[in-house]
Structure 1
């Protein structure tokens, strides 16, 4: 989320549940200055060691639920997601995707913690969980099925990658410039960073990308700042 490019407004228009994880509430409060009432979360969760007293008091006054989660074995992101999954079930909400804004920039250890939450999510919910920040999107592909990724919305950048974060992954792809033919991706071996899409003739659409993997595999891709 930044001042130049943010999908926040369009996501809120269709979101049925909105949440902030602890200090993210500070960022939401700051970037929506003067319009905070139009961007209220349903709840804010965390151990509240990062949210400022001013921001906490503002959202409390606006009747946003404050859920304290003191468990230090899990990140605020993971704990916030757990609450969201339970709320979706309890309220029987019709949800297609869980989208997280932020978590892929700044401190490297916190970026890795965001990726680790994607692994927790595999056992927490069948819903896809996307993480978006600035010009990057991250999504952990589940093993055992063919993933079909539509890359023709007009908002995709030029790069994409498949990174075996959790361990070796036997992978097959179509639709990429450098496809994988049941090859094993692993650190110290082959890792498909700085990949791109299969070239197409001018005016044609990119082909759908397909990926199969026998282990959880991190897909990331560029997001264009220029809406086509």
Structure 2
């Protein structure tokens, strides 16, 4: 340990009981750099389906990965989303998940459409889904879908003319030009990404890479990733005081929200991982089993994985750099 490094000298690790209140930490630290994440907002019904006020717009984006999400949870995600988009092969995954009912009809399927089965495209088109072909290999289907989503809410002139744009990459170029030059006040969008992590490691890292780059270039896009292989959410935290407002539930409350009592790493305690994938960071936490103070974390130093939420109100991470956090639902 370097004696000249003030962060390393003052580092602390505190082991907490399995249940604590962090209200004092919240009250004492809320300020201009406070960011509050409400995970349940993605699953709660909006006050009105037509309510698209700033910050109240939720979008569901389905990627090409098997959907293993709890049926009760998926139904709430779907009903809460103002727009539902499948990125190419995500259309196959949706039909595999719900092959018999007509409950889940996406608004758009977009991409180079080399994975979406033609029979599935025709099936959903007959039910009202719009197909947007963008065949360029320079942009991923994920980026194409996000260009469509951003244009839909913030640049409606692109959407009005979408049947006339070229099928190569005009959607992405038009959205990029508008984002770079427009003085229009853009709406904040909460985008829940179903898939993109788990499975192949390179595809997981590509999802992380694209979310980081888009969050930097389009700060009005707020992402939450749902892991289809484990009941957890992944979000990108900003520098400052981040409060994940996710109270601990009784088994009865979990059944009401999710339909079952969800699996956890330890009964009643959610797993939490603090992931400094982008760069080293110095963090202080409140509400974790092993809280830290002025703790330097990084891929080449040390990380807080397999931690547990013990805060009754949620948990707090103060960080000087962007980092990802995953937590069980």
TM over 0.5: yes
Q: Give how far 1:191 is off.
A: 0.8
79 and 58 in structure 1: CA distance in 2 versus 1, 3 angstrom threshold: same
| Residues 245, 315 of structure 2: 8 Å contact kept | yes
| Residues 163, 192 of structure 1: 8 Å contact kept | yes
Corresponding position: 1:183 with 2:295: yes
Aligned position for 1:113: 206
| Residues 189, 220 of structure 2: 8 Å contact kept | no
Q: Give how far 1:8 is off.
A: 1.9
Aligned position for 1:163: 275
**Residue from 24, 37, 53 that aligns with 2:90:** 24
Q: How does 1:79-90 map to 2 (within 5 A)?
A: 79-90=144-155
Q: How does 1:40-79 map to 2 (within 5 A)?
A: 40-79=105-144
Corresponding position: 1:147 with 2:242: yes
Mapped partners of 1:127, 1:96: distance in 2: 5
Higher helix share: 2
Mapped partners of 1:107, 1:44: distance in 2: 23
Q: Give how far 1:84 is off.
A: 0.7
Q: Give how far 1:97 is off.
A: 2.2
Mapped partners of 2:275, 2:82: distance in 1: 31
- SS of the counterpart of 2:83? coil
Corresponding position: 1:130 with 2:224: yes
| Residues 273, 326 of structure 2: 8 Å contact kept | yes
**Residue from 308, 311, 316 that aligns with 1:196:** 308
137 and 169 in structure 1: CA distance in 2 versus 1, 3 angstrom threshold: same
Q: Could you tell which deviates more after superposition, 214-223 or 155-164? A: 155-164
- The CA deviation string for residues 46-87 of structure 1, in whole angstroms up to 9 with x for no partner, is 111111111112122223111122333332122212221221
| RMSD of equivalent CA atoms | 2.3
With normalisation by structure 1, the TM-score equals 0.84
Mapped partners of 1:34, 1:3: distance in 2: 17
Q: Give how far 1:220 is off.
A: 0.3
**Residue from 214, 220, 226 that aligns with 2:326:** 220
98 and 153 in structure 1: CA distance in 2 versus 1, 3 angstrom threshold: farther
Higher Cα Rg, which structure: 2
- The CA deviation string for residues 84-110 of structure 1, in whole angstroms up to 9 with x for no partner, is 122122469976621111222222211
Mapped partners of 1:58, 1:125: distance in 2: 36
With normalisation by structure 2, the TM-score equals 0.60
- The CA deviation string for residues 120-174 of structure 1, in whole angstroms up to 9 with x for no partner, is 231224242111123221111122x311102216357420111111111222211
Q: Give how far 1:5 is off.
A: 4.8
- The CA deviation string for residues 182-211 of structure 1, in whole angstroms up to 9 with x for no partner, is 222111211111111237xxxxxx143111
Corresponding position: 1:173 with 2:173: no
